[in-house]
């Protein structure tokens, strides 16, 4: 009993000495991936005694508000990285060099949904369209560039309309209110398909096919290298490297314990650590941001003209 009490006191001491690390979440609390952040932090708190991870909601400004909040206290805060990270850097809203990845949530496995295509033919069914009107959350993001790439191949013009969320754009498409093209979750597609039979999935903008609709090919399988909606957690480089690396191991292990099935079923997210061989957060971050830099440079004129 005496040994047990000593052990309990030691553990209690360790627990009491936990350093609080706050994750600034730049997404709207209703976004599909927020629950996975919360679950990952809960798991991270269970598997070690050095840190206490908590989440704080800081949506707004395309993810910039969360990053700036972290920057104010860089040694004990992390931040989610919005899909508009590269475009925000190009616009001078943030300095990309200030941030280093500590965890990769991965690619959002979202579908290319239209009301003018054919699932059986895939994205090639867009050939012959004169113009495609895209609904999305920001210029130069994954939906915008994906449509530009397909338009370049199949000869249609791209017009871009900004929405608060992709789901809002899907609602307008369902009502035949001018939108022809969105990226959204397969589950939401199936819900809205019941309201408008014209809705079609033409491809998966993700490294893998959807388990819900495995017959739909990825865009890569259809011959296209398009950007995905990629999500990560970053730290400010002012946080000591050793600390960043330690936190990275904890969060990556926590996500591993949640498992690939949980990530896909709860949020349609494919984390790179589940690839074979596994891809580190740093490698994932570099590959995805490099791709976005290349594509936003290549299509800069079309992106700028859409603003």
Exposed/middle/buried for 48, CB within 10 Å: 0-12, 13-18, 19+? middle
Residue 219 phi/psi, 5-degree rounding, is -65, -30
Per-residue pLDDT tens over the stretch 118-155: 999 999 999 999 999 999 888 888 999 999 999 999 99
Structure confidence at residue 83 (pLDDT): 73
Structure confidence at residue 164 (pLDDT): 81
- The CATH code that applies to domain 10-106+230-296 is 3.40.190.150
CA distance 243 to 158: 45
CA distance 101 to 78: 10
Q: Is there a common fold for 10-106+230-296 and 110-227?
A: yes
What CATH homologous superfamily does 110-227 map to?
A: Periplasmic binding protein-like II (3.40.190.10)
Q: Based on C-alpha coordinates, what's the Rg of the chain?
A: 21
Taking a C-beta distance cutoff of 8 angstroms, is the pair 177, 161 a contact?
no
Per-residue pLDDT tens over the stretch 98-116: 999 999 999 999 999 999 9
Residues (pLDDT < 50) of the chain are: 1-9, 12-14
In eight-state DSSP terms, residue 126 is G
CA distance 241 to 232: 18
Is the whole model's pTM more than 0.75, yes or no? Answer: yes
Provide the residue ranges of all domains of the chain, joining segments of one domain with +. 10-106+230-296, 110-227
């Amino acid at each position: 009993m005496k040994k047990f009490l000593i052990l309990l006191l030691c553990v209690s001491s360790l627990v009491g000495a936990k350093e609080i690390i706050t994750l600034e979440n730049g997404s709207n609390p209703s976004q599909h991936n927020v629950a996975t952040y919360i679950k990952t932090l809960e798991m991270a708190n269970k598997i070690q005694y050095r840190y206490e991870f908590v989440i704080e909601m800081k949506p707004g400004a395309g993810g910039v508000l969360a990053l700036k909040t972290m920057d104010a206290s860089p040694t004990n805060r992390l931040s989610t990285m919005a899909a508009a990270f590269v475009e925000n850097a190009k616009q001078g809203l943030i300095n990309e060099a200030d941030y280093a990845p500590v965890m990769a949530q991965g690619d959002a496995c979202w579908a290319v949904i239209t009301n003018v295509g054919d699932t059986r033919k895939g994205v090639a069914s867009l050939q012959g369209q004169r113009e495609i009107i895209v609904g999305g959350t920001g210029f130069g993001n994954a939906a915008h560039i994906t449509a530009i790439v397909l338009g370049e191949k199949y000869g249609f013009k791209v017009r871009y309309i900004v929405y608060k969320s992709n789901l809002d754009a899907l609602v307008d498409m369902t009502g035949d209110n001018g939108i022809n093209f969105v990226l959204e979750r397969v589950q939401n597609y199936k819900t809205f398909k019941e309201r408008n039979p014209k809705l079609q999935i033409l491809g998966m903008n993700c490294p893998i096919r959807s388990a819900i609709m495995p017959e739909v090919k990825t865009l890569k399988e259809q011959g296209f290298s398009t950007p995905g909606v990629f999500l990560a957690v970053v730290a400010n480089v002012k946080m000591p490297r050793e600390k960043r690396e330690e936190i990275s191991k904890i969060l990556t292990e926590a996500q591993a314990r949640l498992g690939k099935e949980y990530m896909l079923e709860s949020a349609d997210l494919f984390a790179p650590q589940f690839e074979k061989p596994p891809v580190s957060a740093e490698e994932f971050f570099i590959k995805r941001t490099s791709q976005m830099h290349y594509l936003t440079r290549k299509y800069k004129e079309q992106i700028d003209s859409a603003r």
